[in-house]
Amino acid sequence: MQRPLLASSLALALGAFCTTSATAASGGQIPAVEPTELIARDALFGNPERASVRISPDGNYLSWVAPYNGVLNVWVAPANDPARAKVVTRDTARGIRDYFWSYQADTLLYLRDTGGDENFHLFAIHLADGSSKDLTPFDKTTARVYGISDRHPESIVLGINDRDPKWHDLYRVDLASGQRTLLHRNDDRIGSYQLDGDYRLRYATRATDDGGQELLAADGKGWKQLERIPFEDALTTEVAGLSDDGATLYLLDSRNRDTSALYAIDTASNARTLLLEDKRADISDTLLAPDTGVVQAASVNYLREEWKVLDQRIAADFQKLKSLGNGDASVTARTLDDATWIVAYSAAETPLSYYRYDRHGDGKLTKLFSARPALEGKPLAPMWPQEIPSRDGLKLVSYLTLPEGADRDHDGKADKPLPLVLFVHGGPWARDSYGYGSYEQWLANRGYAVLSVNYRGSTGFGKAFTNAGNGEWAGKMHDDLLDAVQWAVKTNVTRADEVAIMGGSYGGYATLVGLSFTPDTFKCGVDIVGPSNLNTLLGTVPPYWASFYQQLTRRMGDPATAIGKQWLSARSPLTRADRIRKPLLIGQGANDPRVKQDESDQIVNAMKAKQIPVTYVLFPDEGHGFKRPENSKAFNAVAEGFLGQCLGGRVQPIGQDFDGSSISVPEGADKVPGLGEALKTHTQAVRQ
C-alpha cells in the first residue's frame, strides 16, 4: 500500500534581454559583485518544463506535470516512449501539482483546490476513455488520502470532512463510480488514521487536551490507547507507516530521548526494535517497499541528508545512485514489482533532474528530463552549510549562498562584505535544508549573500530545539535571527547596515517583527503572507486544524484567556506598527485560508494611519503563497526592484513579467522604481 498522501500541510512550506543596475544608495553602500550573466526570472520562477515524474505501478506509463496552454497539467506517455506523451488534465487556473497513480489499470488520481482555498478535491482520470470524475464533490471540503492498496485496486480510502469541517470521516471510495462506503464516523476527534493493505482500520492518533497526542489501536469495539505522547514530544513523535500485512508498525519516537529514532513495533507482541537513531538530528524520511510497505531505508538530515539502508536487498541500488554525483538523490516512484525506479537528483547549484533506474541486468540509469533545462550552464551558486552559535549556546544549522565571483577560492567565505538577505523559512515548525532553491539562486545572482537560519522552534534537530521556541515568537526565536546576522557581520559576509530580511508565512511574520521590534537592524523587509496580529491569526485558522489547535495555543498563546490574549498582542507586529521606519514590501493572496488577507490589511492600514510608507501587492486568485507562475514572477519582479533600491543589487526590468498575472497594488506603487508604469501598461493590456 502506498504511503498516505495528505492534501494539507501545516508548513509553508515559495534568451537575450536588457538589464539595469539599481540606483546606488548614498552612505557607502556595499557594491554588488562583478557582473555575471543575469538569469531571467522566467527561468527561475516560470513553469518547470517537466516535474513530479512518476511511473505507474504496472510499469506501463511514465507521467509528469508540464505546461499545457501555460498551466501545469498532467501528461502521460508509454514508459518506453516518452515522446508520445499526451496531456490528460485540462486545468486552466493554478495548475495541477499533487497527483499519483492508483493500482487500478490506467487510472490516475490528482488533487485540486480553487484559487488557493485549500479545499482539495480528489479526481480520478480513466485513461481508456479520457473521462474524469470528482470523487469528493462537496462544498468546502478537503480530501485526505489514507489508503491506496494493490490488494484492492478498484478503490481507495479517503478522509472527507463534508459532515463536520473540523473532522474527517473515513470512507472507502469506488474509483469507477465514485460511490463511497463509510468506514468510520469521526465522532471521537481522530486526527489521522492507519490502515493495512486490506483497508482494515488498525490505528489512529488523537490530540489530547494538553496539546499532546495519543496513539490508539482499534480493538473491534472502539479504541484502546496504545501510546501516550506528551506535548513536549508531539512534534517529534509520529507514526511512520504500517506494513501491508499489519504485522509491523513504524514509529518515529523522541520519548525518553531528544532526537526522534525509528522503531519497528511488532503489532502482536508490542515488542520494539530500534532501526535507526542519530544524536544530531531526527529521522527525516523513510523508503517503503512497494509490495509490502516494509521500511527499507531511512534518512537523517543534519547539515545534509544522509540515507541508511536497512534492507540489504537494495544496498547495491543505493550505491549505484551515488554515481549521479555529490548532490542528493531520492527515489520518487517504484513499480509494484520493484524492477524500475524513478530517481530525482539535484544539488544546490544543480536544478532537479529525473532518471529512470532499471534494477535488473546492469542497473542502467537513464536521464529522462531536467525540470528546468533553461538553467543548465547558468552561473548557479553553491550552498554552504554552517553551524552558527546562538547567544545562549544553541547550534543554529544554517545555509549560506554566495554570489558567483564573491568566493573565488570556493571555501564558503566571502572575499569581501556583500549586501545580505536574511531569508527566513515558514512554519515555524519546519526547517531549511541543503539543496537547489530558486529564491536563493535568484538573490545570489542579483549580487546578494543569502543566509537561511534554522532558528529555535524549527523541526528536525530534536525536541529540545523545537520546544525551545515555545512562547518565543518575537523573543528568542527572533534573537536567533539577530545572532545569525551578527555572525555574518563578524565573518565578513556583510556589514551591519546592509542587511534585508525576507520570508513567507512565519518568515513573513519574522520580517514584520524585524522591522517593528528591532527597527534599526534591517535596511528593508519583504513579507510574503505573514501574520501581523496573532490574536486574529489564531481566531481564523482553518476548521480542519482542530486536531492541532491545542498545540498552537500552547506553543504561542491562547486567545481565549486574558493572559494569552495579552501575550499574543504583545508579540504582534501590528502592536508596534508605528515603530516601522524602514522600507517594507508586503505580498498577499486574497484566498489564503491560513493567513487571511486581513492580516496584511491590518498592518497596511495601521501604517497608512501613521503616514508610514508601505508597498502592498495583492493577488485575488492566490492562497498561502503564489502558485501561478505568472503571479510568482510578477511579485518577484516587484521584490527585485524593491531590494535593488534598498541594497543596490542588480535588477532585471519588469518588462513582460506582469503578463497573465492578476497583480494589484492597493498601496505604495510609487515606492518601487518602474512599478507604477508597469502596472499602467499591464492594466491597458488587460483591457484591450
Q: Which residues are catalytic?
A: 505, 592, 624
Cell output for 600: 496584511
653: left (phi over 0), alpha (psi -120 to 50) or beta: beta
Sheet holding 305-309, edge to edge: 283-288, 295-301, 305-309
**What's the first-to-final CA gap in the chain, in angstroms?**
52
Query: Are the CB atoms for 57 and 337 separated by under 8 Å?
Result: no
**Rounded Cα gap, residues 668 and 688, in angstroms:** 25
Comparing CA positions, the residue from 519, 506, 515, 648 lying closest to residue 585 is 515
Strand partners, 148: 156
Give burial (CB, 10 Å; 0-12/13-18/19+) of 269. exposed
Q: How far is CA 523 from the centre of its chain?
A: 27
Place of cell 532526537: 259
DSSP 102-151: -SSTTEEEEEE-STT----EEEEEETTTTEEEES---TT---EEEEE-TT
Comparing CA positions, the residue from 255, 147, 160 lying closest to residue 202 is 147
Place of cell 562583478: 34
Place of cell 516494509: 294
Query: Are the CB atoms for 483 and 454 separated by under 8 Å?
Result: no
The one-letter amino acid at 177: S
Comparing CA positions, the residue from 443, 671, 419 lying closest to residue 523 is 419
**Rounded Cα gap, residues 394 and 263, in angstroms:** 27
Q: How far, CA to CA in Å, does 231 sit from each of 121, 189, 414, 464?
A: 32, 17, 42, 12
Comparing CA positions, the residue from 214, 158, 155 lying closest to residue 183 is 158
Phi, psi of 205 (to 5 degrees): -120, 150
Q: In 579-628, which ranges are continuous DSSP H helix?
A: 597-609
**Rounded Cα gap, residues 492 and 497, in angstroms:** 13
Cell output for 475: 523573543
| CA angle at 587 for the pair 585 and 592, rounded to the nearest 5° | 155
Query: Are the CB atoms for 425 and 452 separated by under 8 Å?
Result: yes
Cell output for 524: 528593508
Strand partners, 227: 215
**Rounded Cα gap, residues 106 and 57, in angstroms:** 10
DSSP 36-85: -PPPPHHHHHS--SSEEEEE-TTS-EEEEEEEETTEEEEEEEETT-GGG-
**Rounded Cα gap, residues 662 and 326, in angstroms:** 40
Cell output for 196: 493495512
